């Protein structure tokens, strides 16, 4: 055990095999009735995450922001937005987490600031401003056209004209999020200083936002028309390959610089949000223990249909392509995507949990998935997020009251269905989705084969069954689930104990010979020697 007493230490870093719980701070718990979740609210609900059994929290951005991109547009990297509390509250949260053996990760958004950040305000004051070169400016092309054909990830040109200077500035996302110029060493220094500000306060690391966008072609070349068969991750809606503005080779030096800062402190982690196909992800993980990201999200499961063959392929690709210095990092849901209870259907959430939480790797959960939370089906009232992501950001449902125990005031977004799904009821019900999450996470912690064992697919299963075997120290566990619409069966060569099951009545029993699984049913079996 390490000094937190919660992570078994066999020389491997704490984050390998860990379960990380993502909190969208606005939507987790409101402590003061203003309808917006806050840091004190999170402190008040830490028992829930401790009961769940996760290793770490990751908070989406808590910094001051005019909310054009809901906190991913920052005006001060070393402060806390007043609606979330204060730096002192963050200190209190760090202490409260550490006292309970939890780690705390923040979101680092290094590629762009808010348009209202003092750095950009100064940069925009004129071409001779001392901060001008902290951002990326270019003259129009003939006819006043933008300097390149690059597109913003949210659609439209990646350039906005600054009428005062007659130059365009670059933004990989909204126009209110001007891109920082990472070719300027002063930018790197400022961002490293922001990292140290939080690391000095005991924060255990960062999820690093949109990193593939950090560096662009210095000659500002136009992107070429995409060739056939290219990945959808790399092509703009305009049909141009994102060749010169995303994933430039120099980005690896940016990441190495961040890694060096993290390495000044013991046991800190960086999780890269690279958003690239699995084939390219390995290049961001580096080949040495201290090179580039310790972890980087594999987002394939967020885009893979609920089919055994598709999932098996995604998982095997990740297994084959992840360097041995680390492990895959999976998520099924986050604040940017339709929740998986909605994508796969609520009938699938138990099996999805069984699969996710028995996979080799670091697992990220998105707050609410542990109660089977869906996206809000029909949100009325004004849209907050321009990119249409309100439905997956609705508040956490703590109890069955109309405001779900989230707030005593008017919630900033309406709750989805607290009467139907909430922590209080599910926590008291051993047959609930929440109880299954708790059991699976506890098993993952206590069984070395699940926590860090090897993994290989079981290939002799009928097409609608997904199965993989985890093993360590002679112990073998089989995860098997039926993703098809009808009963399916497979054969076991000897008796196996049911360690966990989507149907709790099967837990503690044993199976042998032909085993039938109902649609969306899954078992975690301890295989005989």
Task: Give the active site residues.
Answer: 209, 264
Q: Which does 336 bind (CB under 5 to 8 A by kind): ligand NOJ, Ca ion, none?
A: ligand NOJ
**DSSP line for 193-227:** HHHHHHHHTT--EEEETTGGGS---TT-PPPPBPP
Which residue's entry shows tokens 């909190």?
Answer: 23
89 counts as binding ligand NOJ under rule CB under 6 A: no
Nearest C-alpha neighbor of 491 from the set 475, 467, 470? 467
CB of 64 to ligand NOJ, least distance (A): 15
Give the C-alpha separation, 149 to 129, whole Å: 27
Site string for ligand NOJ, 4-43 (x = CB under 6 A): ----------------------------------------
346 counts as binding Ca ion under rule CB under 5 A: no
Nearer to Ca ion, 30 or 107 (CB): 30
CB of 69 to ligand NOJ, least distance (A): 5
Q: What are residue 175's phi and psi, to 5 degrees?
A: -60, -25
89 counts as binding Ca ion under rule CB under 5 A: no
Site string for ligand NOJ, 103-122 (x = CB under 6 A): ------x-------------
Interface with ligand NOJ in residues 326-345 (CB under 6 A): 335-336
What are the distances in angstroms from CA 80 to CA 25, 203, 426? 12, 14, 33
Q: Is 8 within 8 Å of 20 (Cβ atoms)?
A: no
3-class state of residue 98 by DSSP = helix
CB of 39 to Ca ion, least distance (A): 9
Nearest C-alpha neighbor of 226 from the set 246, 197, 212? 246
CB of 392 to ligand NOJ, least distance (A): 10
Q: Which does 209 bind (CB under 5 to 8 A by kind): ligand NOJ, Ca ion, none?
A: ligand NOJ
CB of 368 to Ca ion, least distance (A): 18
CB of 32 to Ca ion, least distance (A): 5
Among 179, 209, 464, 521, binds ligand NOJ (CB under 6 A): 209
What are the distances in angstroms from CA 427 to CA 51, 399, 433, 489? 9, 10, 9, 32
CB of 88 to Ca ion, least distance (A): 16
Name the pairing type of β-strands 269-272 and 205-208: parallel
300 counts as binding Ca ion under rule CB under 5 A: no
Among 21, 72, 119, 398, binds ligand NOJ (CB under 6 A): 72
Position of minimal CB gap to ligand NOJ: 72
471 counts as binding Ca ion under rule CB under 5 A: no
CB of 280 to Ca ion, least distance (A): 40
Q: Which does 129 bind (CB under 5 to 8 A by kind): Ca ion, ligand NOJ, none?
A: none
Taken in order 188, 204, 18, 62, the sign of the CA dihedral is: negative
Site string for ligand NOJ, 245-284 (x = CB under 6 A): ----------------------------x-----------
Nearest C-alpha neighbor of 52 from the set 386, 491, 365? 365
The DSSP element (H or E) to which 283 belongs, if any, is helix 278-285
| Nearest-10 Cα torsion for 479, 483, 487, 491 | -30
Site string for Ca ion, 22-61 (x = CB under 5 A): --------x-x-x-x-x-----------------------
Nearer to ligand NOJ, 119 or 398 (CB): 119
Q: Which does 38 bind (CB under 5 to 8 A by kind): Ca ion, ligand NOJ, none?
A: Ca ion
Q: Which does 255 bind (CB under 5 to 8 A by kind): Ca ion, ligand NOJ, none?
A: none
Give the C-alpha separation, 101 to 87, whole Å: 21
176 counts as binding ligand NOJ under rule CB under 6 A: no
Give the C-alpha separation, 95 to 84, whole Å: 17
Q: Which does 32 bind (CB under 5 to 8 A by kind): ligand NOJ, Ca ion, none?
A: Ca ion
Sheet architecture: strand order including 137-138: 137-138, 167-170, 159-162
Token pair of 33 as six digits: 């009735």
Among 28, 77, 84, 173, binds ligand NOJ (CB under 6 A): 173
Token pair of 177 as six digits: 């999020």
Give the C-alpha separation, 455 to 359, whole Å: 8
How many CB atoms within 10 Å of residue 331? Answer: 21
Q: Which does 30 bind (CB under 5 to 8 A by kind): Ca ion, ligand NOJ, none?
A: Ca ion
Nearest C-alpha neighbor of 149 from the set 248, 222, 244? 222
Among 195, 210, 341, 355, binds ligand NOJ (CB under 6 A): 210
Applying CB under 6 A, which residues contact ligand NOJ? 69, 72, 109, 173, 209-210, 273, 335-336
Residue numbers at the binding site for Ca ion (CB under 5 A): 30, 32, 34, 36, 38
């Amino acid at each position: 055990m390490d000094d937190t007493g919660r992570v078994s230490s066999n020389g491997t870093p704490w984050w390998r095999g860990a379960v990380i719980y993502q909190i969208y701070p606005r939507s987790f718990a409101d402590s003061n009735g203003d309808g917006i979740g806050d840091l004190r609210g999170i402190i008040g609900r830490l028992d829930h995450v401790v009961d769940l059994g996760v290793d770490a929290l990751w908070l989406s951005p808590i910094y001051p922001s005019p909310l054009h991109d809901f906190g991913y547009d920052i005006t001060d990297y070393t402060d806390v937005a007043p609606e979330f509390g204060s730096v002192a509250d963050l200190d209190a949260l760090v202490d409260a987490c550490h006292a309970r053996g939890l780690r705390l990760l923040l979101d680092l958004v290094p590629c762009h600031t808010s348009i209202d950040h003092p750095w950009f305000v100064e940069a925009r004051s004129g071409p001779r401003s001392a901060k001008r070169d902290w951002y990326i400016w270019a003259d129009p092309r003939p006819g006043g056209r933008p300097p390149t054909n690059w597109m913003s990830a949210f659609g439209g040109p990646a350039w906005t004209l600054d009428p005062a200077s007659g130059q365009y500035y670059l933004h990989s996302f909204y126009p209110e999020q001007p891109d920082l110029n990472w070719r300027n060493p002063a930018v790197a220094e400022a961002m490293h200083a922001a990292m140290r500000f939080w690391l000095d306060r005991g924060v255990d690391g960062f999820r690093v936002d949109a990193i593939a966008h950090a560096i662009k072609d210095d000659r500002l070349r136009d992107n070429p028309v995409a060739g056939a068969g290219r990945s959808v991750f790399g092509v703009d809606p305009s049909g141009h390959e994102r060749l010169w503005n995303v994933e430039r080779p120099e980005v690896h030096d940016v990441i190495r610089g961040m890694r060096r800062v993290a390495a000044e402190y013991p046991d800190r982690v960086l999780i890269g949000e690279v958003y690239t196909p699995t084939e390219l992800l390995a290049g961001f993980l580096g080949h040495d223990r201290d090179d580039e990201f310790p972890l980087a999200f594999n987002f394939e499961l967020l885009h893979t249909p609920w089919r055994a063959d598709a999932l098996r392929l995604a998982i095997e690709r990740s297994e084959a392509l992840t360097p041995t210095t680390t492990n895959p990092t999976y998520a099924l849901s986050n604040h940017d995507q339709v929740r998986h209870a909605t994508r796969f259907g609520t009938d699938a959430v138990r099996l999805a949990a069984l699969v996710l939480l028995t996979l080799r790797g670091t697992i990220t959960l998105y707050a609410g998935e542990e109660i089977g939370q869906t996206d809000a089906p029909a949100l009325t009232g004004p849209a907050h997020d321009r990119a249409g992501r309100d439905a997956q950001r609705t508040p956490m449902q703590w109890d069955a009251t109309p405001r779900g125990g989230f707030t005593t005031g008017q919630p900033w977004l309406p709750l989805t269905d607290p009467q139907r799904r909430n922590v209080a009821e599910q926590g008291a019900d051993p047959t609930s989705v929440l109880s299954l999450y708790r059991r699976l996470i506890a098993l993952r912690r206590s069984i070395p084969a699940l926590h860090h064992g090897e993994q290989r697919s079981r290939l002799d299963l009928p097409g609608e069954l997904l199965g993989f075997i985890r093993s360590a120290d002679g112990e073998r566990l089989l995860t098997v689930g039926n993703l098809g619409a009808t009963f399916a069966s497979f054969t076991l060569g000897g008796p196996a104990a049911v360690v966990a099951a989507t149907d709790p009545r099967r837990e503690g029993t044993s199976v042998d010979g032909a085993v039938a699984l109902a649609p969306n049913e899954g078992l975690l079996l301890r295989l005989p020697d």
